[in-house]
Structure 1
Amino acid sequence: MAEFLDLAAAVEANLRDGDSVAMEGFTHLIPYAAGHEVIRQGRKDLELIRMTPDLLYDQLIGVGAARKLKFSWGGNPGVGSLHRMRDAVENGFPNPIEVEEHSHAAMANAYEAGAANLPFATFRGYIGADLPKVNPQIRSVTCPFTGEVLAAVPAIRPDVAIIHALRADRVGNVLIEGIVGVQKEAVLAARRSIVTVEEVVEEFGPRSANSVILPAWTVGAIAVVPGGAFPSYAHGYYKRSNAFYRDWDAISRDRESFAAWVKENILAKDAGTFARYARAA
């Protein structure tokens, strides 16, 4: 059942060194504030899971929080590479990282299997693809009814799911609208969950056709964190900071400039440059 905590307490209570953690959000509602709190608390040896790791996971990898990355696409959207991720993969800096790459379809189906408490996901995919040659977790099964050979991957069951949502009500039900990824499936599949929200309301009111509501009994901790998805965006609250995504390429390309940015904008009590992007958005 959902419990309202401040962000630091929510992370402290739910995320441990060595955990597998899924921080989901598809261009929209990326849980940056929660991820930055993970960095501040110095969590290590994490298995990071996400369909589309971008800047947040680049930051977590760059500070040495990760031992493994399970993903289906990685990059700085519209800009280029994730330089801290590349440094870890190619040079083992700040520590080596294991990579397990899948397709989007495989990840989405694996989350759904985890949410349903199934051991694996099966689907039509990977026909003619090379990923099965380098990822032993991609296998095949034969349908007992038709004889069709299908792709199979293990279910994703994270120790912790972390997402950002728009609103929670006072009993802990959570609302997501706008572009929706696999946040619902990640929370349902996880053993524990942390949801940051823009605000708490008495009732959700009219909802869009694609709205998702997570009932209070599916959610672990809720932290009210206005702006918790910035520099990504929250539908109806604030825009994406395209300027920050562009600037990240130069910030993250160099180890020293990256370390200085983390010190100023995540570890320091008064976040300087990062706040400037927020004001401009």
Structure 2
Amino acid sequence: MAEITSLRDAVAQLVHDGDTVALEGFTHLIPHAAGQEIIRQRRRDLTLVRMTPDIVYDQLIGAGCAKKLIFSWGGNPGVGSLHRFRDAVQNSWPVPLEIEEHSHAGMANRYVAGASGLPFAVLRGYRGTDLPKHTDTIKTITCPFTGEELAAVPAINPDVSIIHAQRADRAGNVQMWGLVGVQKEAVLAAKRSLVTVEEIVDELTPVPGQVILPTWAVTAVAEVPNGAHPSYAAGFSERDNEYYAYWDSIGRERDSFQRWLDEKVFGTEAATSDHGEAPLVDADRVRVSRKTQEVAQ
């Protein structure tokens, strides 16, 4: 049964130094507040897993939380590079970062294998790429029935998976909808899981296309309104495109990034907040999508 708790307490209980941690969310419902709470609690030597590491992982890497990144594609979507990620790989700042790169299909299949209790996944993938030359967790196997050569990749079973969703009820059942990605599989594959949500309600109202994670599949739920910002939560907020452009200037240089950490993550206002980063912009920058909110209701 999921425990309803605060974000601060959930991270303290579930995320440990040296853990393998997956923060999933594909463009939508990215758990930024949880990522910043991990930074605030100064976790170290993490193996970070994510299909599309964007600015939340740039922040974690720049803060020195990660020793390894398992991923497929990395960048600031629509803007450019992740400068803290690049600095760690090229210059070992603030600490060296080992990378293990896969395709999107490979990562998705690895999560499915982990969620299914299987040791590895098989797919027709990686053909025509040089990833198998550089990633030792990509192997070639021969189908015992057809003789076809296929790619095999090991299951992903994080120590803890963290996602953001729209709602949970007071029993800890989680409801999400919209662009879902591999959040469900990441939770089911993990030893422990934390779900931050926009709101906790007495009863979950059905929504077309919803995904329900039952309370027995979730370790902890924390109510964190706007916990996905600057990404979005369908029915609650829109993507803050200006923030992604803003992040490029913050993450580009070590000094500006360190100032951001000191002021917005470790600063007094942020440290006493249970909702992650202190506001960088006016509250009206987080725009409510009334149309999708009406659909959700």
Q: CA deviation at 1:144?
A: 1.2
Equivalent residue number for residue 24 of structure 1:
24
Where in structure 2 are the equivalents of 1:198-213 lying within 5 Å?
198-208=198-208, 210-213=209-212
Offset at 1:206? 2.8
Map Cα deviations across residues 14-37 of structure 1 (whole Å, 9 max, x no partner). Answer: 110000000000011000111111
Write the distance in 2 (CA, Å) between the matches of 1:195 and 1:97: 27
Deviation at 1:279, TM superposition (A): 2.9
**Deviation (angstroms), 1:273:** 7.2
CA distance in 2, matches of 1:134, 1:48: 19
Tell me the secondary structure at the aligned position of residue 240 of structure 1. coil
Q: What SS does structure 1 have at the residue aligned with 2:268?
A: coil
The CA deviation at 1:275 is 3.8
CA distance in structure 1 between the partners assigned to 2:227 and 2:178 by the alignment? 16
Q: Deviations over 1:193-246 (max 9, x none)?
A: 1110111112222311x2110010000010011111111111111111111100
Please tell me the residue identity of whatever aligns with 1:237. F
Aligned-partner residue type, residue 214 of structure 1: L
Residues 123-144 of structure 1: CA distance to partner in whole angstroms, max 9, x if unpaired?
1111121100111110011111
- 2:177 & 2:198 partners in 1: Cα distance? 12
Deviation at 1:277? 5.0
Per the alignment, residue 252 of structure 1 pairs with: 251
Residue in structure 1 matched with residue 284 of structure 2 by the alignment: 279
Kindly report which structure 2 residues correspond to 1:171-210, keeping only aligned pairs within 5 A, or say none: 171-208=171-208, 210=209
Q: How does 1:114-129 map to 2 (within 5 A)?
A: 114-129=114-129
In the alignment, structure 1 residue 142 sits paired with structure 2 residue 138: no
CA contact (8 A) 1:244 1:277 kept: no
Question: What CA distance in whole angstroms lies between the structure 2 residues aligned with 1:168 and 1:110?
Answer: 27
Name the CA distance, whole Å, in 2 between partners of 1:206 and 1:115: 25
TM-score normalized by the length of structure 1: 0.97
2:156 corresponds to: 156
Q: Which amino acid letter does the alignment assign opposite residue 98 of structure 2? A: E
1:43-90 CA distances to partner (integer Å, 9 max, x unpaired)?
Answer: 000000000000000000001000000000100000000000000000
1:216 aligns with 2:215: yes
CA distance in 1, matches of 2:135, 2:217: 32
Tell me the SS of whatever aligns to 2:256. helix
What amino acid maps onto 1:190 in structure 2? A
SS at match of 1:274: coil
The answer (yes or no) to whether the contact 2:33–2:227 under 8 Å persists in 1 is yes
Deviates more, 1:142-151 or 1:51-60: 142-151
Equivalent residue, structure 2, for 1:167: 167
Asked whether 1:269 is paired with 2:268, we answer: yes
Q: AA paired with 2:162?
A: I
> Counterpart of 1:28 in 2: which secondary structure?
coil
How far has the Cα of 1:148 moved from its partner?
Answer: 1.2
Distance 1:277 1:232, change over 3 A: farther
Partner secondary structure for residue 194 of structure 1: strand
Alignment of 1:28-43 (within 5 A): 28-43=28-43
Tell me, what secondary structure is at the counterpart of 2:279? helix
Conserved 8 A contact 1:68-1:97: yes
User: Contact (CA 8 Å) 1:230, 1:278: kept in 2 or not?
Assistant: no
Report the Cα distance in structure 2 between the residues aligned to 1:65 and 1:50, rounded to whole angstroms: 15
- 1:278 & 1:229 partners in 2: Cα distance? 14
Kindly state the Cα deviation for residue 269 of structure 1 after the two structures are TM-superposed: 2.7
Look up the SS of the partner of 1:248 in the other structure. helix
Report percent identity of matched pairs.
Answer: 62
Q: Which residue of 1 aligns with 2:2?
A: 2
Q: What is the count of residue pairs matched by the alignment? A: 280
RMSD, matched Cα:
1.2
CA distance in 2: counterparts of 1:61 and 1:159, whole angstroms? 18
1:102 equivalenced with 2:102 (yes/no): yes
